[in-house]
Amino acid sequence: MIAKNIKGKSFKGCVSYVMNDTAKLLEAEGVLDSSKQDIIRSFAMQRSGRKEIKQPVGHIPLSFAPEDKGRMTNDFMVQLAKEYMEEMGIRNTQYIIVRHHNADNEHIHIVYNRIDNNLKLISVNHDYKRNIKACKKLKDKYGLTYGKDKERVKREKLRNPDKAKYYIHDAIKTVLPNCKTPNDLRYNLQKFGIELEYKHKRTTSEIEGVSFWYGDIAFKGSEVDRKYSFGNIKKVLEKNIEESKKRGEEELLREQTAQKVRQEAMLKVKQEVEERVRKEAETKAQLAKRNIIIKGVELNDSQQDTLMSGGHIFLKNVTAKDGKTQFSAYAFLNDEKDRVFFSKKNPDEFVKYGKYEIRVRDRVLIENGYITKAKVKWYGIGSYANPYLWKDNKSDSDYQESWSDPRLPKTPKEEQKPKQPIVQQQKNKGRKR
């Protein structure tokens, strides 16, 4: 993102330039925008209140890196333009925001009246420094691409000494954020085959300059880049030390707090797990003493083992609730192994339900108000995912979903983490890989 602040005398010339054949007016404030002439007249009318001002026209071309082209929707560009104007102190005045399509890089033009709505003059003092600060702030905020010069140079086409200079530049840029002393910088650059030569003051051992050697080619720090003069490097080293101390103190406090919270959470989880294990052991012990009888059908040992291990069995001549009717169906248990459910279809057969294809058994459990660790078809052949699915109320049309068991207490990180759809979480995981 790059901006240039221009002052001018004529709204007619400026508006005529930005409103060319490739232009699209994205937003107008305080002006009639039915035609180019109406816009010009609107600016001129307010400007007439301060005829002594020689340069009432404010013009800001705002361009963006090719790498960011895919993100540059009209709405996003208007948002960036407004935030930039706010950072530059351009408020309470007329303006238009126009998008051009006549160049490879995406760009917009802001034309504004330096005579604001109260007929006060909008200052442009120190606009060069304020522009740099505003652009950096917005690039950092929205993750926009940095660099127009050295970062854009095609290294593979360079020849020495430029090739060596850019190699040194890139190496310094890589290692400097992790350095705290001049020796740190020297050691880390040696890994790139680059040697440092520090220049010391005659009367003291204080460093006052630096040169970088790559092979038999050498450059002073300021020749590589102004920001790599030793004076500027020293500022970065001192800043790194302060930030390291601050991070260390903050991390120590966070770790101490997090450790306490983790201990409390783990104790609670442990108690929950122990209680569940105890109940499951009791259930298994009770079932071991006798075979299960389901709706008048006594299971054999093999059928009972299949159910208790999470499988399903097919039962014939099962007695219905009326005590008379008999039917045949598949039987399976819920996760807690304390209730039997029936299905005409194979419980492990997949059916479309909501936004997933899930097993019949998972659908039955959800419809009956249970939380189930479902098996759903995922992207690709033979791929599956296992989210937890449930309904808060049986009458709900949609089910809830989570990657973690909602029956267990949440860890502090899970409580702070905003909820995302499972599909979005999977996409995010893919990006990290």
Q: Which two tokens stand for residue 184?
A: 């740190």
3-class secondary-structure state, position 400: strand
Instruction: For strands 326-333 and 24-29, give the pairing.
Output: unpaired
Domain ranges of the chain: 2-142, 149-289, 300-432
Average pLDDT over residues 289-296: 70
Is pLDDT above 80 for 394? yes
pLDDT, position 25: 95
Q: What is the pLDDT of residues 263-275, one digit of tens each?
A: 888 888 888 888 8
Query: If pLDDT is split at 50, 70 and 90, which confidence band does 412 have?
Result: low
Strand order in the sheet with 350-353: 350-353, 356-359, 376-377, 384-385
Q: Which two tokens stand for residue 126?
A: 């120190």
Question: Per 3-state DSSP, what percentage of the chain is helix, strand, and coil (rounded to 5)?
Answer: 45, 20, 35
Is pLDDT above 60 for 287? no
Backbone φ and ψ for 85, nearest 5 degrees, come out as -60, -40
Average pLDDT over residues 304-313: 89
How far apart (Å, rounded) are the C-alpha atoms in residues 61 and 81? 10
Instruction: For strands 297-298 and 313-319, give the pairing.
Output: unpaired
Lowest-pLDDT range of 207-216, 274-283, 327-336: 274-283
pLDDT, position 278: 87
Q: Which residue has the higher pLDDT, 425 or 6?
A: 6
Average pLDDT over residues 182-198: 92
Average pLDDT over residues 182-206: 90
pLDDT, position 330: 94
Q: Is the pTM of this model over 0.85?
A: no
Average pLDDT over residues 40-55: 94
How far apart (Å, rounded) are the C-alpha atoms in residues 201 and 208? 6
Residue 1: count other Cβ atoms within 10 Å of its Cβ.
20
DSSP 67: G
Q: List, in sequence order, every beta strand (DSSP E) within 153-216.
A: 194-200, 207-214
Average pLDDT over residues 239-258: 84
pLDDT, position 426: 47
DSSP 336: T
Backbone φ and ψ for 193, nearest 5 degrees, come out as 80, 20
Q: Of 43-52, 305-314, 410-419, where does the model show the most confidence?
A: 43-52
Q: Which residue has the higher pLDDT, 429 or 344?
A: 344
Report the percentage of the chain scoring pLDDT > 90: 48
Q: List, in sequence order, every beta strand (DSSP E) within 19-128.
A: 24-29, 57-63, 95-100, 107-113
Q: Which residue has the higher pLDDT, 260 or 348?
A: 348
The C-alpha R_g of the chain, in whole angstroms, comes to: 35
Query: If pLDDT is split at 50, 70 and 90, which confidence band does 290 have?
Result: low
Is pLDDT above 50 for 427? no
How far apart (Å, rounded) are the C-alpha atoms in residues 291 and 58? 88
Average pLDDT over residues 307-320: 89
Q: Which two tokens stand for residue 123?
A: 């200052």
Q: Which two tokens stand for residue 327?
A: 């039917």
Q: What is the pLDDT of residues 136-181, one digit of tens each?
A: 899 989 988 875 556 655 667 677 887 888 899 999 999 999 999 9
* Mean pLDDT of all residues belonging to the chain: 86
Query: If pLDDT is split at 50, 70 and 90, which confidence band does 37 have?
Result: very high
pLDDT, position 36: 93
Is pLDDT above 60 for 422? no
Query: If pLDDT is split at 50, 70 and 90, which confidence band does 303 have?
Result: confident
Is pLDDT above 90 for 346? yes
Q: Which residues contact 240 (CB under 8 A, 6 or more apart)?
A: 177, 178, 179, 180
Query: If pLDDT is split at 50, 70 and 90, which confidence band does 361 have?
Result: very high
Find out whether 64 and 121 touch, Cβ atoms under 8 Å.
no
Q: Which two tokens stand for residue 173?
A: 């840029």
Find out whether 336 and 349 touch, Cβ atoms under 8 Å.
no
Is pLDDT above 90 for 98? yes
